A and B are shown apart, each in its own frame.
Chain A
Amino acid sequence: MVNELPKKPATHGRFPAFNPIGRAGASFKPQHLEAIAAEPDSIGFLEVHAENYMGAGGPPHAALTKIREMLPVSLHGVCMSIGGLDPLDKEHLARFAGLVERYEPCLVSEHLAWSTHDDVFYNDLLPLPYTNETLAHVCAHIDQVQEAIGRSMLLENPSTYVLFKESTWKETDFLREVVRRAGCGLLLDVNNVFVSATNHGYSATEYLADFPLEHVGEIHLAGHDEQEDDEGAPLLIDSHDRPVADPVWTLYEMVIARQGPITTLVEWDADIPDWPVLRSEAMAAETILKRQSIAPDAGKRHAIHLS
């Protein structure tokens, strides 16, 4: 596959063409609309789950239109089932492409996961084995999405609780090969890295050392819950219901120090706090982005990366 897709969104001038580079953003929740509208400059951008805006009209579209007039918006799909063996749902893909066209998002992303099998939708990000067969399916699905939206998308690394006996690829190698074949970018979820590394007993630092950071167009940070696995060892759950954990901040700072500033989002999807709490998490990410962009050798690293 040859990647000739534009990296940047096409704009129709319906909305301002903001650029959130070097800024941090937060998940958009409708209950925060008023607080954000009162002070839109206090956040770099907002991210929405595409499926929440797939109704025909009504308050969700009115709110998103208002937000988009003030800020850049990142469109994050949750239900495309890119990691499934079934063909993509054409209607769902058309609705997704319709949102890209309508809201001119600054970033478009989906997950390395599946959620639909034989027409039943499970509303969760389910894991897939990493094999030559799934690699071919994932690449074909990404191709189809990028064709439909007319630009490249970012694919997010998953948080997982189980492994597949038949997997033959390391996750980082699998992602690197997807990028090479499909010409997409990556969304690096640092919390997912920490959750999966803990759950599967490998080093998050080594995973990140293997990760193709040069293809990362966005970073996600979020909070997780801690439970126990079958043997009583910690099993982390990607819950998005609390502040980002300290070890995740440490890994994040490491990534930014290595790669320079990358547009970063703090996700919060359950037990949603008042806007100032969520915004302060995003501000903490922005502080790290700014610190690394003015560090004496950060510019040099970035220059090396660009050349």
Chain B
Amino acid sequence: MQSTSHRGDGAPAAARSYGAAFSAAILDPDQPKPDRITGPRGKAADKRFNVYRNNVTYSLVTALAEIFPAVARLLGEHNFRLVARDFLRAHPPRSRMVIEYGHEFAGFLAKLEPVRHLKYLPDLARLERAWLDAYHAADAAPLAPEEVGTLPPEALAGACFISHPAARIVRSRYAIHALFTANRGGEMPERIDAGEPESVLITRPNLQVKVYKLAPGQFSFIEALMSGRNLQAAAEAAIGNTPSFDLAPAIGLLIESGAFHACMGAERNAGGKQKG
């Protein structure tokens, strides 16, 4: 941890600030309580200090359970809370916005030996984190179908699209869409083949977050569009790795999902067309 305060954590215990003294012990149950705290009239304060330890751990573990409900359901509440507690000790939040917490959780799960057999878990966590990003993303109008319709046919191939602030894509070698749906209040199928590769598009054109399972090639197509490549280049990228890629439904999804905010024709609108 980089110390930015005027009296850092390396100072002898007596010279530490109260912030440094609390910080050294609050996430580490093996550390004694800070020396400088006490109960009234010299009463002991170990259980008293533990109230703060419990509050901090409970509130952040609960926040993680709310951010990753499908992961929590698959691990079971007890196991999830143990995993989340270890994550919290390794990666305490650096932002005061709890809604931003847990971006490192997928990477943490990927390296966590006891859950290594649940190979789909990191990607599922990535999808759940993306879902919350979409939920809180800036508001913007989704691309209106007419906007694409008004492009002259010769401009269509060169058209570029501006992503909607909420749009996210997650690619996986595992059935993350099925696992996500079944473990976040959706219908539980009789059997999920977790080894089925599934990629997902997450959007929030208005107030409701939507999660789409992408057909083969659609991930590359949308990824290319999101990175600013034009429609023709995006289609070529998709066909390049999925020869069976079908362009018409992909364009349909592009419009219907609300993944994009605006579009602009090739040379005709080189300056770009922005909505207010």
Query: Is A300 at the interface (CB under 8 A from chain B)?
Result: no
Residue pair A86, B5 in contact (C-beta under 8 Å): yes
Interface string of B37-54 (1 = CB under 8 A from A): 111110111111101100
Taking the closest CB of chain B, its distance from the CB of A161, in whole angstroms, is 4
- Measured CB to CB, the nearest residue on chain B to A117 is B19
A57: chain B residues at CB < 8 Å are 136-140, 165
A121 CA to B97 CA, complexed, in Å: 9
Residue pair A59, B165 in contact (C-beta under 8 Å): no
Given contacts A56-B138, A86-B19, contact A117 B36 (CB under 8 A): no
Interface size class, chain A: 35 or more
Query: Is A229 at the interface (CB under 8 A from chain B)?
Result: yes
- Residue in contact with B4 in the complex, picked from A51, A55, A119, A129, CB distance below 8 Å: A119
Query: Is A60 at the interface (CB under 8 A from chain B)?
Result: yes
Query: Is A208 at the interface (CB under 8 A from chain B)?
Result: no
Residue pair A235, B48 in contact (C-beta under 8 Å): yes
B93: chain A residues at CB < 8 Å are 120-121, 123
Given contacts A123-B56, A126-B22, A164-B36, contact A58 B136 (CB under 8 A): yes
Residue pair A229, B48 in contact (C-beta under 8 Å): yes
Interface size class, chain B: 35 or more
Interface string of A7-46 (1 = CB under 8 A from B): 0000000000000000000000000000000000000000
Residue pair B46, A230 in contact (C-beta under 8 Å): yes
Interface string of B131-175 (1 = CB under 8 A from A): 000111111100000000000000000000000011000000000
CB within 8 Å of A: which of B11-29? 17-20, 22-23, 26
Query: Is A148 at the interface (CB under 8 A from chain B)?
Result: no
- Residue in contact with A123 in the complex, picked from B9, B47, B59, B137, CB distance below 8 Å: B59
- Measured CB to CB, the nearest residue on chain B to A62 is B207
Query: Is A54 at the interface (CB under 8 A from chain B)?
Result: yes
Query: Is B274 at the interface (CB under 8 A from chain A)?
Result: no
- Measured CB to CB, the nearest residue on chain A to B3 is A118
- Residue in contact with A117 in the complex, picked from B5, B41, B52, B138, CB distance below 8 Å: B5
Question: Top 9 A-B pairs ranked by shortest CB distance?
Answer: A55-B136, A57-B139, A230-B44, A117-B19, A56-B138, A79-B96, A162-B37, A200-B40, A57-B138
15 more CB-based (< 8 A) A-B contacts, given A85-B18, A162-B39, A231-B43: A54-B97, A56-B136, A59-B135, A117-B22, A120-B23, A122-B60, A123-B60, A123-B98, A124-B52, A161-B45, A162-B38, A162-B45, A165-B36, A227-B51, A230-B44
Residues of A within 8 A of B (CB): 51-52, 54-62, 79, 81, 84-86, 89, 92, 114-124, 126-129, 161-166, 199-202, 227-231, 235, 237
